[in-house]
Amino acid sequence: MSAFPAPSCGCINVFWDDGMLSHDTGSGVFDSGVKPTFLDVLEKHPENSERVKNMVSILKRGPISPYISWHSGRSAVLPELLSFHTQEYVNKLVEADRDGGKEICTGTFLNPGSWDAALLAAGTTLSAMKHILHGHGKIAYALVRPPGHHAQPTQADGYCFLNNPGLAVKLALDSGCSKVAVVDIDVHYGNGTAEGFYRSSDALTISLHMNHGSWGPSHPQNGTVVELGEDKGFGYNLNIPLPNGTGNKGYEHAMIQLVVPAIEKFRPDMIVLVIGQDSSAFDPNGRQCLTMDGYREIGRIIRGLTDKYCDGRLLIVQEGGYHVTYSAYCLHATLEGVLNLPLPLLSDPIAYYPEDEAFAVKVIESIKRYHRETVPFLKEP
């Protein structure tokens, strides 16, 4: 850890580029692209530019704005993509863009402007990581779209073309970090990131997600507790599939009982927090019950871990979150927690959603026992 220069900025450095708004995912029945003639009103694809516009605006004009430092993004160059993705896969994306675009897989549309936006998302995430690695700031947030954590080395998946967090982890490992931990709280399994490091002991990938299983050829992984990694990477992919409806207390219990002990044992040089507000109580693409309070507490726990084990170095990468307004509020709360502010800056406009954490606690305790019996670095001495 001492190999990196000491940063001087204590704020959250947000990396953003308006060019990412050029990714037009179209409209239809939810994310299908289907346009039935018998419907008068079609909705925008859930991964649309409006959701991110609100995230940008709440950070610029919301009460957290004094704590935010803005930085421009950039486009990734093709050789950078090959640290995580295969040349054959990248070539397919380039060809699809040259041909005017296509549906790459179910619900994932590469339209004119999409490839440029994907390159911007990847490059902007790499810039955010470099900002930390070069000692210019301890906390950086890559506010990017299209999202990335489902993109595997050889295929697109789940609205994702390029794996933004995976590229950032590879950069950190190639730049002197010996170990990097990824904590993914998007409501869906971060299967692409896990696949990229499935045989590596240098990256610990932890994913808290609803228990959705596989959704087809583009997403063959199930996200179950038994998918622990392979070869040298065995035990370094920890899945935490939570029951549908798990809320603030259940997520906090999972963080304290499963995530914190894993980070304490792994002792990473850097943490990458992969955030998706689709875990919220009101998201159209999720089945969980997190509210602003829950996101705030997750941010606070992660901040404590980075201060204790990573000299405060934390990269945050944006993923899902499809409620156009509430996603922005939940982002604001997450960053409040990361800043470890004593009191909330912004009240919850929708407020409390009833939850029963009892079942989630039983599942989390079962996962904890399984990890301690199966994962070598987590076994009790």
Tokens representing 121 are: 């998302």
**Closest CA relative to residue 23, chosen from 87, 99, 115:** 115
- Active-site choice (149, 150, 323, 371): 150
131 is catalytic: no
- Find where tokens 């000299």 sit: 311
Taking residue 4's Cβ as centre, other Cβ atoms within 10 Å add up to 17
CA dist., res. 15 & res. 10, Å (int): 15
Cβ contacts of residue 183 below 8 Å, gap of 6+? 206, 208, 259, 263, 271, 272, 273, 274, 302
Taking residue 121's Cβ as centre, other Cβ atoms within 10 Å add up to 31
Q: What is the number of helices (H) and of strands (E) in the chain? A: 11, 12
- DSSP 8-state class, residue 279: G
∠ CA 318-324-325, nearest 5°, is 100
CA dist., res. 328 & res. 56, Å (int): 8
Tokens representing 137 are: 């700031």
- Residues with catalytic annotation? 150
